[in-house]
């Protein structure tokens, strides 16, 4: 499938590690935003659920090439290598004894579909509206602006509550649903391939541990290419080009 200059939808989920995992997910989100800023890409948050300490339980956002402003390169070709499990090793802000903890967050990178790539019948959708909520579960909007869409044939459920406008949240939720349905379709196609062909596809596994961020040793290691990069603060500030370029060369 040709993904040249497509927008991408990125999903970050906190994994093992409780509140520290949610804080790490928030760090990954900021890292990608800063990288997107360096490329002059447009950024849109489609859905977000915060933790009580300001971390992120789950966030889904879209990165799009600014056609008029001369954005830097093809979005999908740069971001496709980020999908998988990211692991962090550091002393959490919640740790009082100074011990190093290991936590994880998962990242999924889904190409945003062009019109009519996935056909969804209105009769296959169950759409619910509810009040948007923030950290701790309190309601942040008095009106029913949040949207939950259930795709009945696949049982996929998506939500969007970041906008104050009901129509925009519904549009965002549909974008997430379309991307998830395409991902499911591609995974089903992969299952039909032989094991040898599957082994050649390195970048599309949600559950594969791809990278470790070791703060005490100031090192980021990408396990797919068995290479480490130093100056972790710069990497977390969005300086991802050395890692992405190394991944591009290895393909």
Tell me the CB-side half-sphere exposure of residue 177, using CA atoms within 13 A.
29
Instruction: Identify whether residues 179 and 77 lie together within a single domain.
Output: no
**93, part of any domain:** yes
Instruction: Identify whether residues 128 and 162 lie together within a single domain.
Output: yes
Spatial contact of 125 and 178, defined as CB atoms under 8 Å apart: no
pTM metric for this prediction = 0.79
Q: What percentage of the chain exceeds 70 in pLDDT? A: 81
More confident: 202 or 150: 150
Instruction: Identify whether residues 61 and 183 lie together within a single domain.
Output: no
For range 122-136, the mean pLDDT: 81
Number of structural domains found in the chain? 2
For range 185-209, the mean pLDDT: 61
Last residue of a domain, one of 191, 207, 241: 191
Spatial contact of 10 and 78, defined as CB atoms under 8 Å apart: no
**54, part of any domain:** yes
Judged against a pLDDT cut of 50, whether residue 200 lies above it is answered with no
Instruction: Identify whether residues 57 and 180 lie together within a single domain.
Output: no
Instruction: Identify whether residues 104 and 207 lie together within a single domain.
Output: yes
**147, part of any domain:** yes
Last residue of a domain, one of 147, 170, 191: 191
**83, part of any domain:** yes
Burial of 244 from C-beta contacts in 10 A (0-12 / 13-18 / 19+): middle
Spatial contact of 146 and 169, defined as CB atoms under 8 Å apart: yes
Spatial contact of 137 and 23, defined as CB atoms under 8 Å apart: no
Containing structural domain, residue 68: 8-115+197-250
Instruction: Identify whether residues 110 and 16 lie together within a single domain.
Output: yes
Instruction: Identify whether residues 104 and 13 lie together within a single domain.
Output: yes
Instruction: Identify whether residues 229 and 152 lie together within a single domain.
Output: no
For range 220-249, the mean pLDDT: 95
More confident: 6 or 64: 64
Nearest by Cα to 109 from 35, 33, 11, 13: 11
């Amino acid at each position: 499938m040709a993904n040249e200059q497509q927008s991408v939808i990125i999903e970050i989920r906190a994994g093992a590690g409780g509140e520290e995992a949610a804080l790490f997910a928030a760090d990954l989100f900021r890292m990608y935003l800063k990288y997107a800023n360096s490329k002059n890409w447009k950024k849109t948050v489609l859905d977000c659920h915060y933790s009580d300490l300001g971390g992120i339980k789950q966030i889904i956002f879209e990165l799009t090439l600014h056609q008029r402003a001369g954005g830097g390169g093809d979005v999908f070709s740069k971001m496709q290598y980020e999908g998988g499990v990211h692991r962090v090793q550091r002393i959490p802000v919640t740790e009082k004894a100074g011990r190093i903890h290991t936590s994880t967050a998962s990242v999924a990178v889904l190409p945003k579909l062009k019109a009519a790539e996935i056909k969804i019948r209105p009769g296959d959708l169950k759409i619910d509206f509810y009040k948007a909520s923030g950290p701790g579960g309190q309601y942040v909007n008095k009106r029913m602006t949040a949207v939950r869409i259930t795709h009945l044939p696949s049982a996929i459920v998506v939500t969007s509550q970041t906008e104050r406008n009901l129509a925009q949240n519904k549009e965002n939720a549909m974008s997430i649903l379309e991307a998830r349905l395409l991902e499911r379709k591609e995974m089903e196609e992969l299952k039909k391939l032989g094991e040898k062909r599957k082994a050649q596809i390195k970048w599309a596994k949600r559950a594969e541990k791809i990278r470790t961020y070791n703060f005490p040793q100031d090192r980021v290691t990408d396990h797919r290419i068995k290479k480490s990069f130093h100056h972790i603060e710069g990497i977390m500030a969005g300086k991802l080009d050395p890692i992405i370029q190394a991944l591009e060369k290895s393909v």
